[in-house]
Chain A
Amino acid sequence: MPSLSDPANPKRRRLVQASAALWGGMLVGVEMSANAARLVGAAQTKPDAGAVELTAWVRITPEREVALVVSQAELGQGISTTLPAILADELGADWADVRLLTAPLRQEYRHPKYQWMFTGNSESIQSFYDVMRNMGAAAREMLTLAACQTWRADVADCRTENSYVRHVPTERRIHFADLAGAAALLPVPQAPILRPAAELRLIGRPLPRVDVPDKVSGRAVFGIDFAVPGMLVAAVRTVPAIGAQVTSFDATAAKAMPGVRAVLPLPNGVAVVAQRYWQAARALATIRIDFAQTEASRSADSAVIEAGYARVMNDGPWAPVLAEGVFAGKPAFEAIYASPFAAHATMEPMNCVASVTAERCEVWAPTQGQDLAALALQYALGMAPERISVNRTPYIGGGFGRRLLPDFVVQAALISKAVGAPVKLMWDREEDMRRDFYRPASALRLVAHTDGHGLPTAVLAQLISPTILLPVFPPIQKTLDEKGFDPSALEGLLELPYKVAGRRVEFHLPKLSVPTSVMRTTGYGPNLFALESFIDELAHRAHRDPLAMRRQLLAHDPHALHVLDRLAVLSRWAQPLTKGYARGLAFANAFGTLIGMVAEVHVKASTVRVMRVTAVADSGQVLDPGIARAGIEGGIVFGMAYCKSEVRFEQGRVLQDNFSTYVMPYLAECPEMVIEFVSSERTLGGVGEVSPVTLPPALANAVFRASGQRVRSMPLSRHGLSFA
């Protein structure tokens, strides 16, 4: 398949043009120059002196360690443990002696199908599993062949384990480090033979995560901690109203403050560059930005947006997406559900270190999207791709999709270029939350025709959602323009897990001045909040148990039934609860994983205490049970955050721009969690985004059963409720 990195590929040309239109052309004026700086230390493109590169993925170090390259960004999802472990397992390396290197932007580390280097969509394991096994096997075969050349032995008589090649009949063995030189001269096998499953020692076991020691000692270096010699620090403030126009700012006081090297206008604000962040921040605080409202800023307003959605719900227009089957009889039930704007609010705010000279651009960023960042830099700087280096920092303080966007990388590079020195750009929390690409607010009308038993026979879905994909995948503009829908925003609606004969899906794509893009759960979250609440409402109207009703709707899917049955047992679904206590259920097929969840709550007056959450997931095979479990646990809390806070806008101002107003779940509010994985022959599914999909509807359904109050939107505060 032609690579997206190949300039001759027409898809590449479209990607580049679209990205240039979207991301390029940001200009910065220079007010003061600063001293140039020399940069020392290289990116990890070439092996360290003395290390031997067997393949792009496997090197042997002079310290006799097996060094493996980690292509995917470690965001906390444990990928920097699991993927290398797959390779090491296949290779036969001693896991205790494995060292990990963060991948530079290089062809070999791109997503095998999309030919694009990124981490997201819960698909790193699915996408790289085969690559890891094959590359592990390839290195194994090279080392084995090198050993056999020394021994004049038969490769069939050899095994690899604990970083040795062992000749079984004679018990001779040679360490990988002593074979590396010879092995590196051999061709890389294109179709290596994989080990039988029974020989795998690491895959399927809970491994100690490789990043945990650094994260408990304080030694982990995140983007915000990264430094290069001669580096200055930039603090920025952009106009506080989205889309507003800067008219002037007075930097007289700022320029005179200690440590300040430059004050630069940005297209929508100002940057202060200083020796220290605290100097830059102090100086920045003295600058008042005057601005004028524009049509864009006035429409970045929750009341305006909600009124617009209400008008569309009444009058359309709707773009057709899907129509199949029969809609017999009259609609039986209809409801409109809404999900609010949400902020990523990663614990580490956006930041990036950039060093831009006339010849080169080098950045070190906590990024999820190295290819898009490189492309955006090309266009912003007018620099050829081979002169641009996008290095990913080994540790990243949360992603959730925000770090796929290249905006903060480009901003850092432009500031570095303007001052002629390496610069670390650091956004404070307010800047981070005001300049987010929010999870879009959406509204979904669901209409069901039902049979005599209250089961849905036909469902109409009318979805209003701004784009999710455009900022991270500019070529989607064509689909948005021609078809009028965003495929990611439709997730969960195009393929229902339930057997429903008649289906229509329609879409309205508002073009908002509020920036929106990918955030953990993407379209699945809001759509399945609606769908799973709707199924529960249908069950209630039909006087049916919601679990039993879903079993009936999923009768064709034995895997789904198994998940529900385990869930019923583990959640003690059938056990009665006292007044005020209730259970609510949600089921989803999202990101390739089947997940059933039950939330057990206690509703008292206006408080909701989440007592217990039970989750059963079928993601095919679980490669690391510990990491998978952590992903589900953390996702439950992330789902609670979606139910606790929202972002609202008023004439462009972001009303929730720090944690005092965007309040996140507390440890005290967290429930007991019971989590189980069931294995099946289903293909590998992703685990990182599924539990935040089912938590909100399970919660809404539980609240209804406990109190009689049906909430068709989040957060709970819209309905006078709060977590206890």
Chain B
Amino acid sequence: MREATRWLRALLLVGTWTCTGLASAGNAKAAGSAAFDPIYRVLTHPRCLNCHTSTGFPRQGDERRPHDYRVARGTDDHGAAAMRCTACHGTSNNGLFPGAPRWSLAPLSMAWENLGPGQLCQRLKDRRQNGQRSVTQLVEHMSNDPLVSWAWAPGAQRQPIDMPKDDFVRALQAWAVEGAPCP
């Protein structure tokens, strides 16, 4: 009897510990979602996703159609020969076309098309895919890079990111502070 009770108590302890662990994992997942969701919303907005495509071409417009004029990715993500991104896109918006410094596609390793929040988060943090960036460097890049910032002032009739830039930066920092959890 005492033997069984001790065994039962051990089992209960393990069970409790397991449940608590699972609950923490679940809580952590929920916390990751809460922290990453706003970031996910921004990164999958057409202004970002149109260049973070997994296709051999950029996308264009809120409907994300293949870029007009048969524009292609090219071997270095900067367009085909004689059709470089910079053949038409300058370092700032002009009357016709969007522009920002170093206008180009993101490399395929940073393609986010069709990724769920968890997958995108993992890819974002994967140093082999993200240009060897730490979380701190990631946050810095997304907060300050002019090409990223373009998405909030895309010019002409283009819809900017629907979250104020400051809020996005705060969301990034909050996510980083929590250990950059992934959903």
Interface on A for B, CB 8 Å cutoff? 660, 666, 668
Contacts and interface: CB of A to CB of B under 8 A. Distances in A.
Interface in B43-73: 68-70
A269 B69 CA distance: 31
Interface residues of B, number: 3
Contacts of A666: 70
A660 B70 contact: no
Nearest to A285: B95
A668 B69 CA distance: 12
Contacts of A668: 70
Majority-rule SS of B interface residues: helix
A336 to B, nearest CB: 31
- By Cβ-Cβ distance, the 4 closest A-B pairs, closest first, are A660-B68, A666-B70, A668-B70, A660-B69
B55 to A, nearest CB: 15
4 contacts: A660-B68, A660-B69, A666-B70, A668-B70
Contacts of B70: 666, 668
A659 to B, nearest CB: 8
Nearest to B68: A660
Interface of B: 68-70
Contacts of B69: 660
Nearest to B72: A668
A691 to B, nearest CB: 24
Nearest to A663: B68
Nearest to B70: A666
Contacts of B68: 660
A660 B61 CA distance: 13
A666 B83 CA distance: 13
A516 to B, nearest CB: 28
A668 B56 CA distance: 15
A668 B71 CA distance: 12
A552 B81 CA distance: 51
A660 B68 CA distance: 7
A660 B70 CA distance: 10
A69 B68 CA distance: 44
Nearest to A660: B68
Nearest to A661: B68
A684 B69 CA distance: 40
Nearest to B69: A660
A169 to B, nearest CB: 62
B82 to A, nearest CB: 11
B135 to A, nearest CB: 41
A666 B69 CA distance: 9
Contacts of A660: 68-69
A662 to B, nearest CB: 12
Nearest to B95: A285
A666 B71 CA distance: 11
A8 B70 CA distance: 58
A668 B57 CA distance: 15
A29 B46 CA distance: 49
Nearest to A667: B70
A668 B82 CA distance: 14
A379 to B, nearest CB: 40
A293 B69 CA distance: 33
A666 B70 CA distance: 8
B43 to A, nearest CB: 28
A258 to B, nearest CB: 18
Nearest to A669: B70
A24 to B, nearest CB: 39
Nearest to A659: B69
A668 B72 CA distance: 12
A13 B68 CA distance: 51
A583 B69 CA distance: 29
A675 to B, nearest CB: 26
Nearest to A668: B70
Nearest to A666: B70
A260 to B, nearest CB: 19
A668 B70 CA distance: 9
A666 B80 CA distance: 15
A660 B69 CA distance: 7
A690 to B, nearest CB: 28
A112 B70 CA distance: 47
A629 to B, nearest CB: 27
A164 to B, nearest CB: 49
A429 to B, nearest CB: 13
A663 to B, nearest CB: 8
A345 to B, nearest CB: 15
A116 to B, nearest CB: 41
A657 to B, nearest CB: 14
A344 to B, nearest CB: 21
A629 B69 CA distance: 28
B20 to A, nearest CB: 52
B81 to A, nearest CB: 13
B61 to A, nearest CB: 11
A444 to B, nearest CB: 33
A660 B88 CA distance: 14
